[in-house]
Structure 1
């Protein structure tokens, strides 16, 4: 299978969202691989050489933050969160579509204001010179990354999430799959 065919199959989103998804999933996959290698080397070092990798726990925490927040926009715009559709059979398709648009608006505004607050905390952390406990890395940069990815999630949800809801005839399946 050629690269373009694979891309269209794995990333059905339109142009720019396809590349955003590929990039963010590439970042998450790379970080996951590095976390696996870090854990393996840490365990081997601990049991064979009686010496673990300094700061492995801290690096794992930072890696998990990078990985989770890299996946957040993709999961959100694809509607891969848990969805309860008990009333979809009772309510009409028009009501479901209105509720889905309302949900897109609530999710995107929540992520936006959450990102604003996280960014404020990151700026405060950087201005105070707060460092991570063991490795001494500036903690504010990780918080800025979390805020940035929350803004990306809000923008993607407001644009592509709304597009997905409006284009589909059967909203309950498109929102929850």
Structure 2
């Protein structure tokens, strides 16, 4: 099986979104592998040689930030967040759609504002020359990565919401998503 066929089989997204999702998942997978190797090395060093890695905690923190914020846009685009639909059977389809649109607006604008503030804090950190304790990694770059991925996630919230509203897929997806218009009152 060719790489292109494998990618098309495992990623239902199209065009640039498919390649962005693949790239971000590769980043997350490599980060997870690094985190696993780092943890194993730290534990083995601690128990076998009585000497742990000095920078293990700061590398773990950085790796977790990279991992979480690489996956946020993908999970958002695929609609993988938890949706609580307790009141859906008591309110109408149009109200559900309006509430879904309102939630998209609130989530995307909140992510945008938070990312703006985080990016400012990262720039300030770079100007001040703040570095990690053991490896002297400029922390402002990690903070700005978090801001950029939050902006990408805000864009994913908006595009996913529009995508679900304009291009509903299968009946199963339509009936489980809060923005779909084919929900039936039970």
Instruction: State how 1:118-137 maps to structure 2 within 5 Å.
Output: 118-137=118-137
* Partner deviation per Cα, 1:23-43 (whole Å, 9 max, x = no partner): 111110110011001111111
Report if the CA contact (8 A) 1:77-1:156 is conserved: yes
- 5+ residue gaps, structure 1: none
Matched, 1:149 2:152: no
SS of 1:89 mapped into structure 2: coil
* Partner deviation per Cα, 1:47-92 (whole Å, 9 max, x = no partner): 1122212201110000000000000111122222221101222223
Matched, 1:174 2:177: yes
Deviation at 1:104, TM superposition (A): 1.5
Deviation at 1:172, TM superposition (A): 5.2
Name segments (4+ residues, structure 1) moved above 3 Å.
Answer: 1-6, 169-172
Report if the CA contact (8 A) 1:104-1:162 is conserved: no
TM-score, normalised by the number of residues in structure 1: 0.89
Counterpart for residue 115 of structure 2: 115
Counterpart for residue 48 of structure 1: 48
Instruction: State how 1:55-74 maps to structure 2 within 5 Å.
Output: 55-74=55-74
The CA distance in 2 between the partners of 1:82 and 1:95, in whole Å, is 19
Instruction: State how 1:6-21 maps to structure 2 within 5 Å.
Output: 6-21=6-21
The CA distance in 2 between the partners of 1:103 and 1:171, in whole Å, is 18
Matched, 1:158 2:161: no
Q: Which piece of structure 1 moves more, 87-96 or 13-22?
A: 87-96
* Partner deviation per Cα, 1:85-107 (whole Å, 9 max, x = no partner): 01222223232222222222211
Deviation at 1:123, TM superposition (A): 0.9
SS of 1:91 mapped into structure 2: coil
- 5+ residue gaps, structure 2: 180-186
The CA distance in 1 between the partners of 2:91 and 2:5, in whole Å, is 38
TM-score, normalised by the number of residues in structure 2: 0.85
